[in-house]
């Protein structure tokens, strides 16, 4: 099983984010986990994401943001991918609009795996071709295929 198969499911991909503001995007994308048993409380998960984002933007540049929560109320690693063709003001390091949001949740007790996954996501999403392909993806299946081939 591929590393992405364990944490990224088709139901957790939104290829046409409707929200245009950072915190609205967090709300929209985290909603894919509302019925997921990986999270104890979806409202708390969103609050954790917002709290982390207020500490400093997770917009890492090149049109990418990686908002994340690392809490006891998360039972296993989870990942959602959101695509915005129009772009989102995410207060990114390079001031560029964000087109790809990789929303990550990990259990607090898995600090090492959390850091490894953040690093792997960053490496993958720094690739120009991967970013271009993701922004052009027309379906969740396309996004999953890009992750499998690029990662």
Distance between CA 89 and CA 132 in Å, rounded? 19
List CB contacts of 128: < 8 A, sequence separation 6 or more: none
Catalytic residues: 68
Token match 């003001």: residue?
89
Evaluate whether 65 touches 49 at the Cβ level (below 8 Å).
Answer: no
Q: What are phi and psi of 18, to 5 degrees?
A: -90, -30
What are the b/e assignments for 120-133, b being 16+ CB within 10 Å? ebeebbeeeebbeb
């Amino acid at each position: 099983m591929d590393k992405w198969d364990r944490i990224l499911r088709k139901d957790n991909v939104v290829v046409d984010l409707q929200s245009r503001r950072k915190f609205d995007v967090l709300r929209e994308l985290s909603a894919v986990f509302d019925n997921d048993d990986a999270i104890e409380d979806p409202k708390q998960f969103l609050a954790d994401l917002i709290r982390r984002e207020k500490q400093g933007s997770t917009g890492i540049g090149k049109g990418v943001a990686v908002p994340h929560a690392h809490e006891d109320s998360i039972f296993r690693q989870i990942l959602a991918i959101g695509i915005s063709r129009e772009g989102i003001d995410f207060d990114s390091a390079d001031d560029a609009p964000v087109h790809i949001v990789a929303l990550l949740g990990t259990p607090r007790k898995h600090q090492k795996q959390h850091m490894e996954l953040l690093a792997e996501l960053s490496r993958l999403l720094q690739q120009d071709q991967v970013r271009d392909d993701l922004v052009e993806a027309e379906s969740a299946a396309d996004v999953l295929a890009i992750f499998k081939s690029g990662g």
